[in-house]
Chains A and B, each alone.
Chain A
Amino acid sequence: MSNVSQPLMSQRWRRRAINSAYFSVCTVLALMFLFPIVWSILTSLETAAEASTSPPVYFPSRFSLENYRNLAAYGQGIGLYLGNSASVALMTVVGTLVLATMGGYGFSRFRFPGRNAIFMLILVTLMIPFQSILNPLFVLLRLLHLQDTQLGLALVYTTFQLPFAVFMMRNAFDAIPKEIEEAARLDGCRPIDILLRVMLPLVGPGLATVALFAFFGSWNELLAALILISDSRAFTLPVMLLNAQSGQLGSMNWGLMQAGITLSILPCAILFLLLQRFYIQGLVAGAVKA
Chain B
Amino acid sequence: MFAHLRRSLARHRAGYLFILPCLLVTTVFFIVPLLMTVWMSFNHWPLLGSSSFIGFKNYLDLLSDESFWGSIAFTLKYTLVVTPAIFLVAFGLALLVNRSVRFVGLFRTAYFLPVVIGMTTASLLWTWMFNDQVGIFSAVLMDLGVIDEPVQWLGETNSALASILVMVLWKASGFTMVILLVGMQAIPHDLYEAACLDGASWWSQIRHITIPLMRRTFALALTMSLIGSFLAFEQFFVMTRGGPFNSTITVVHWIYRASFTYFKLGYGAAMSVVLLLILLAISGLQMYLLRDDHE
Q: What sequence of 0s and 1s flags, for each residue 161-201 of chain B, a beta carbon within 8 Å of any chain A beta carbon? A: 00000000010001100110011000000000000000000
Question: How far is it, in angstroms, between the C-alpha of A263 and the C-alpha of B279 when the chains are bound?
Answer: 34
Q: B15-23, B61-69, B151-159: which lies at the A interface?
A: B15-23
Q: Is the CB of B128 within 8 A of A113?
A: no
Q: Is the CB of B113 within 8 A of A269?
A: yes
Q: Is the CB of A140 within 8 A of B8?
A: no
Q: Is the CB of B116 within 8 A of A272?
A: yes
* Minimal beta-carbon separation of A224 from chain B (angstroms): 11
Q: Is A100 an interface residue (CB 8 A)?
A: yes
Q: Is the CB of B231 within 8 A of A133?
A: no
Known contacts A56-B139, A106-B19, A283-B178; decide if A159 and B25 are in contact (CB<8 Å).
yes
Within 8 A of B (CB), among A109-166: 109-113, 115, 118, 121-122, 125, 127-129, 131-140, 155-156, 158-159, 162-163, 166
Q: Residue of B at shortest CB range from A131?
A: B252
Q: What sequence of 0s and 1s flags, for each residue 199-220 of chain A, a beta carbon within 8 Å of any chain B beta carbon? A: 0000000000000000010011
Q: Is B146 an interface residue (CB 8 A)?
A: no
Q: A4-12, A67-75, A175-183, A238-246: which lies at the B interface?
A: A238-246
Known contacts A33-B114, A36-B129; decide if A137 and B29 are in contact (CB<8 Å).
yes
Q: Residue of B at shortest CB range from A141?
A: B29
* Minimal beta-carbon separation of A68 from chain B (angstroms): 16
* Minimal beta-carbon separation of B133 from chain A (angstroms): 4
Question: How far is it, in angstroms, between the C-alpha of A104 and the C-alpha of B72 when the chains are bound?
Answer: 38
Partner of B25, one of A115, A137, A162, A287: A162
Q: Is B103 an interface residue (CB 8 A)?
A: yes
Question: How far is it, in angstroms, between the C-alpha of A241 and the C-alpha of B117 when the chains are bound?
Answer: 14
How many residue-residue contacts, CB under 8 A, span A and B? 267
Q: Is B233 an interface residue (CB 8 A)?
A: yes
Q: Is the CB of B220 within 8 A of A287?
A: yes
* Minimal beta-carbon separation of B6 from chain A (angstroms): 13
Q: Is the CB of A125 within 8 A of B110?
A: no
- Size band of the interface chain B makes with A: 35 or more
Q: Is the CB of B268 within 8 A of A34?
A: no
Q: Is A189 an interface residue (CB 8 A)?
A: no
Within 8 A of A (CB), among B121-138: 121, 124-129, 131, 133-136, 138
Q: Is the CB of B37 within 8 A of A238?
A: no
* Minimal beta-carbon separation of A113 from chain B (angstroms): 6
Q: Is A235 an interface residue (CB 8 A)?
A: no
Q: Is the CB of A30 within 8 A of B107?
A: yes
Q: Is the CB of A29 within 8 A of B111?
A: yes
Question: How far is it, in angstroms, between the C-alpha of A216 and the C-alpha of B175 when the chains are bound?
Answer: 14
Q: Is the CB of B109 within 8 A of A276?
A: yes
Q: Is A248 an interface residue (CB 8 A)?
A: no
Within 8 A of B (CB), among A25-78: 25-27, 29-30, 32-34, 36-37, 39-40, 51-56
Q: Is the CB of B21 within 8 A of A103?
A: yes
Which residues of A have CB within 8 Å of B121? Answer: 220, 238, 241, 261, 264-265
Q: Is the CB of A242 within 8 A of B272?
A: no
Which residues of A have CB within 8 Å of B247? Answer: none
Within 8 A of A (CB), among B205-231: 217, 220, 227, 231
Q: Is the CB of B170 within 8 A of A36?
A: yes
Partner of A103, one of B19, B120, B138, B234: B19
Question: How far is it, in angstroms, between the C-alpha of A36 and the C-alpha of B111 when the chains are bound?
Answer: 12
A/B interface sample: 12 pairs, CB < 8 A = A36-B125, A39-B129, A55-B139, A100-B22, A103-B23, A106-B19, A131-B275, A135-B45, A158-B25, A162-B25, A191-B14, A258-B128
Known: A140-B36, A223-B234; 13 extra A-B contacts, CB below 8 A, are A36-B114, A36-B170, A99-B22, A128-B30, A131-B255, A133-B33, A133-B34, A136-B34, A219-B118, A220-B121, A222-B120, A245-B124, A254-B128
Which chain B residues have a beta carbon within 8 Å of chain A's beta carbons? 8, 12, 14-19, 21-23, 25-26, 28-34, 36-37, 40, 45, 93, 96-97, 101, 103-104, 106-107, 109-114, 116-121, 124-129, 131, 133-136, 138-139, 142, 150, 170, 174-175, 178-179, 182-183, 217, 220, 227, 231, 233-234, 237-238, 241, 252, 255-256, 259-260, 265, 268-269, 272-273, 275-276, 279-280, 283, 286, 290
Lowest 6 A-B CB distances belong to which pairs?
Answer: A110-B15, A220-B118, A106-B18, A136-B36, A112-B12, A103-B22
